[in-house]
Amino acid sequence: MKTLVIIPTFNEAENISQLIDKVLKQDFNIDILVIDDNSPDGTGKIVAEISTNNRRVHLIEREGKLGLGSAYITGFKYALTKDYEMIVEMDGDFSHNPENLKDMLIAIGDYDVVIGSRYIYGVSVVYWPFRRLLLSYFASLYVRIITGMKIYDPTAGFIAYRRGVLKTIDLNHIMSDGYSFQVEMKYRLWLKKFRIKEIPIIFTDRTRGQSKMSKKIVHEAIWMVWKLKFLAITKKL
């Protein structure tokens, strides 16, 4: 299945070239699209060089830090202009193990959406500070209770979509950007009754570079869940 793996980057110079190598090795049908937001550390230059020598690697450089959600939307739109049958989103910091891509490729044969999940069988997160893990775990409970979605890891960012699934979403009307972007996408797909499969992954905290998580992203997520729920009840989502 022809696959595009979308990797948003902001200051991932220490990770990106190794990550690209590992992802490409998983399957010869995989191409990569990096969406870089003019990283001050030169991530974009590194990827530009790789992409001139390798037709499987593509780069979209944006002028500044425009946010993770909008980076994915840019990537989804790009994928839909080409002939990719499966579209994957993945972080650029090795928190998501490229080897899981193989399982996702297999699972998408029977499902519309495959989520690499941290919380199916208890918790499979390595090296995260305890505070961060608690925040993420309770956020997933909070989202599940309010929305009623039976998804154990609603803020997960390692996801494979069939092309047809993304085509049903109006990408210009996604409201959220950070963690709630992940929630909003899943909720929209859940409401459309797509076949969603969670497969267990081990999420490992980055060893290089820095997290871009901020309080603002967390706050956005807290109230956005209610907004999404309200829109769903009033059939506006």
Our CB check for ligand GDP shows the closer of 95 and 112 to be: 95
Choose which of 44, 92, 116, 154 interacts with ligand GDP (CB under 6 A). Answer: 92
Our CB check for ligand GDP shows the closer of 111 and 151 to be: 151
- Residue 116 CB, shortest distance to ligand GDP, in Å, is 13
Choose which of 4, 6, 10, 24 interacts with ligand GDP (CB under 6 A). Answer: 10
Choose which of 167, 211, 219, 222 interacts with ligand GDP (CB under 6 A). Answer: 211
- Residue 140 CB, shortest distance to ligand GDP, in Å, is 13
Is there binding between residue 180 and ligand GDP (CB under 6 A)?
Answer: no
- Residue 47 CB, shortest distance to Mg ion, in Å, is 18
List the single partner that 116 binds among Mg ion, ligand GDP, none, CB under 5 to 8 Å by kind.
none
Choose which of 171, 199, 213, 237 interacts with ligand GDP (CB under 6 A). Answer: 213
Is there binding between residue 71 and ligand GDP (CB under 6 A)?
Answer: yes
Choices 32-40, 112-120, 138-146, 219-227 (CB under 6 A): range interacting with ligand GDP? 32-40
Contacts with Mg ion, residue ranges (CB under 5 A): 91, 93, 95
Choose which of 3, 6, 8, 105 interacts with ligand GDP (CB under 6 A). Answer: 8
* C-alpha distances in Å from residue 155, one per residue of 58, 60, 119, 192, 208: 26, 25, 11, 18, 22
- Reduced 3-state DSSP string for the chain: CCEEEEEEECCCCCCHHHHHHHHHHHCCCEEEEEEECCCCCCHHHHHHHHHHHCCCEEEEECCCCCCHHHHHHHHHHHHHHCCCCEEEECCCCCCCCCCHHHHHHHHCCCCCEEEEECCCCCCCEECCCHHHHHHHHHHHHHHHHHHCCCCCCCCCCCEEEEHHHHHCCCHHHCCCCCHHHHHHHHHHHHHCCCCEEEEECCEECCCCCCCCCCHHHHHHHHHHHHHHHHHHHCCCC
Structure tokens that stand for 77 in this block: 């739109």
Contact 195, 112 (CB under 8 A): yes
Our CB check for ligand GDP shows the closer of 73 and 151 to be: 73
Q: Are strands 159-162 and 113-117 parallel, antiparallel or unpaired?
A: antiparallel
Choose which of 32, 59, 79, 91 interacts with ligand GDP (CB under 6 A). Answer: 91
Choose which of 22, 144, 212, 229 interacts with ligand GDP (CB under 6 A). Answer: 212
**Counting every residue, how long is the chain?**
237
Give residues in contact with ligand GDP (CB under 6 A).
8-10, 12, 35-37, 65-68, 71, 91-93, 95, 206, 211-213
